[in-house]
Amino acid sequence: MDLFEYQGKQYFARYDIPVSPGGPADTVDEAVKEAASAGYPVVVKAQVQVGGRGKAGGIKLADNETEVREHAGNILGMDIKGHVVRRLWVEAASDIDEEYYVSFTLDRSEKKHLMMLSREGGVEIEVVAEENPDAIVKLHIDPVDGLSEAIARQACINAKLPDRAINGATDILVKLYRCYDEGDCDLAEINPLILKPTGEVHALDAKVTLDGNAEFRHPEWDAFRGLTEMDDREKMAAERDLQYIGLDGTVGIIANGAGLAMSTLDVVNQVGGSAANFLDIGGGANADVMAGALEVINFDENVKSIFINIFGGITRGEEVAKGIVEAMGRVDLKAPIVIRLDGTNAEEGRQILVDAGIPEDKLRSEPTMLEAARAAVALAS
Ligand code: GDP
Ligand code: MN
């Protein structure tokens, strides 16, 4: 689960990581109220789950009420890379001497946590990695050992942070690691981590992804939920326990396995189409799962064709086929289906689809992923 900046900062605060005082606002009047209690000057910040808000005009300094009204009015409703701003975060403005970057995430290949620290913050870390890779200090952390203060301090020195920033930065690194580890984050990132003229070090932004697998031990995460950015399709999918991500294209995608679903998106793109979604039905291709998947895709007004891409492994082809036939009986589909069914018992599965007597213009089978993608894209255009 991805948190908004202000939720990330609330999470940071639980671990004693310094952030600026502020409050959320959904209207201009609320923004004025929050500005008054934070104290001028303030920063008015768009709450959308996408980076580069600053450049897009979603972050503005305001010295007084008139400016807060102006900026809040402009930013609310603004579209930032396809994300509409519904909420603001208004916080006391900080004076900045320097901007750093720090993050913790999991390095699966090393089976360790990875800390990245850079004295060049405030810009996208990908850009720093490209243009000045030496400016990023990478440190693998064994989850059993954790991150000691001594190692955190050495990382700050290696990253060439100035002497006066070392204590404050070390302290935040240790706290942020605790937040990441005990707080069950997949990602905890501060960009920028700032050094103030006073010498204090402070989190100016927050990017936090919570690990859904740890949800059972965090009842407090419920507070974050209702507010996370889900469109109606994603809400529908979540209710059906489907691994679904909404996209902007016209070909609805159903695949079994995340890897296959990803390649399906690629192949659809490759033949000139665009996917309406990512949807991994996992191993369960029974009628309930398939009907749920088709319902969500059917709800999407942009969908002009549906590409079901199944490679039977443990999931057998005839189970999938039966699931599709039954699901098609339950859901009144607006778009035609193209299916590629391969793997275990694919023959039997295809026969079931033929025997079901579903007309060609509603469901057709193609022998390969590429041909099925072409057919689905042709139907969608
Ligand atoms: P992002 O663009 O979405 O990553 O949003 P950030 O919260 O990281 O803000 C982007 C940039 O705005 C920062 O790197 C700062 O340069 C600037 N900024 C944000 N808050 C403040 C503030 O309180 N004071 C000042 N002077 N600049 C700020
Ligand atoms: Mn940022």
Segments making up each domain of the chain, as ranges: 21-92, 98-224, 232-380
Give the closest residue (by CA) to ligand 1 atom 9: 54
Q: Which of 189, 295, 319, 366 is catalytic?
A: 189
Residue 136, SS3? strand
**C-alpha closest to that of 263 among 369, 340, 346:** 369
* Ligand 1 pocket check for 52: Cβ under 6 Å: yes
Expressed in angstroms and rounded, the spacing between residue 51 Cα and the centre of ligand 2 is 6
| pLDDT for residue 228 is more than 60 | no
Half-sphere exposure of 74 (CA within 13 A, CB side): 14
Would you identify the CATH topology of the domain 21-92? Dna Ligase; domain 1 (3.30.1490)
Mutate to test the pocket of ligand 1, among 19, 59, 88 (most ligand atoms within 8 A of CB): 59
> 193 burial class (0-12, 13-18, 19+ CB within 10 angstroms)?
buried
Superfamily of the domain at 232-380: Succinyl-CoA synthetase domains (3.40.50.261)
Residue 146, SS3? coil
Q: Tell me if residue 101 is catalytic.
A: yes
Expressed in angstroms and rounded, the spacing between residue 136 Cα and the centre of ligand 2 is 16
* Ligand 1 pocket check for 96: Cβ under 6 Å: yes
Residue 309 main-chain phi, psi, to 5 deg: -120, 105
Average pLDDT of the residues in 35-47: 97
Under the banding of pLDDT at 50, 70 and 90, the label for residue 227 is low
Q: Tokens 């404050």 sit at which residue?
A: 168
DSSP 235-262: HHHHHTT-EEEE-SSSEEEEESSHHHHH
168 beta partners: none
Under the banding of pLDDT at 50, 70 and 90, the label for residue 197 is very high
Which uninterrupted H or E stretch holds 101?
strand 98-107
Point out the ligand 1 atom lying closest to the alpha carbon of residue 94: 23
Q: Which ligand is nearest to the CA of 61?
A: 1
Dihedral, CA of residue 28, residue 31, residue 33 and residue 36, to nearest 10? -130
Q: Render pLDDT for 131-181 as a digit per residue (tens, 0 to 9).
A: 999 999 999 999 999 999 999 999 999 999 999 999 999 999 999 999 999
Amino acid in position 325: V
Expressed in angstroms and rounded, the spacing between residue 122 Cα and the centre of ligand 2 is 6
Cis peptide before 192 (omega within 30 of 0): yes
Q: Render pLDDT for 90-137 as a digit per residue (tens, 0 to 9).
A: 999 999 999 999 999 999 999 999 999 999 999 889 999 999 999 999
What confidence score (pLDDT) does residue 82 get? Answer: 84
**C-alpha closest to that of 309 among 287, 278, 334:** 278
Amino acid in position 174: V
Average pLDDT of the residues in 292-304: 95
- CATH assignment, 98-224: 3.30.470.20
* Ligand 1 pocket check for 59: Cβ under 6 Å: yes
Average pLDDT of the residues in 54-65: 96
Average pLDDT of the residues in 230-234: 83
Q: Tell me if residue 11 is catalytic.
A: no
Point out the ligand 1 atom lying closest to the alpha carbon of residue 99: 14
* Ligand 1 pocket check for 41: Cβ under 6 Å: no
Q: Among 60-74, 153-167, 180-194, 285-299, which is the least confidently predicted range?
A: 285-299
* Ligand 1 pocket check for 194: Cβ under 6 Å: no
Separation in Å, CA 233 to CA 20, 86, 165, 246, 296: 35, 18, 46, 7, 6
The Cα 284–Cα 320 span in angstroms is: 9
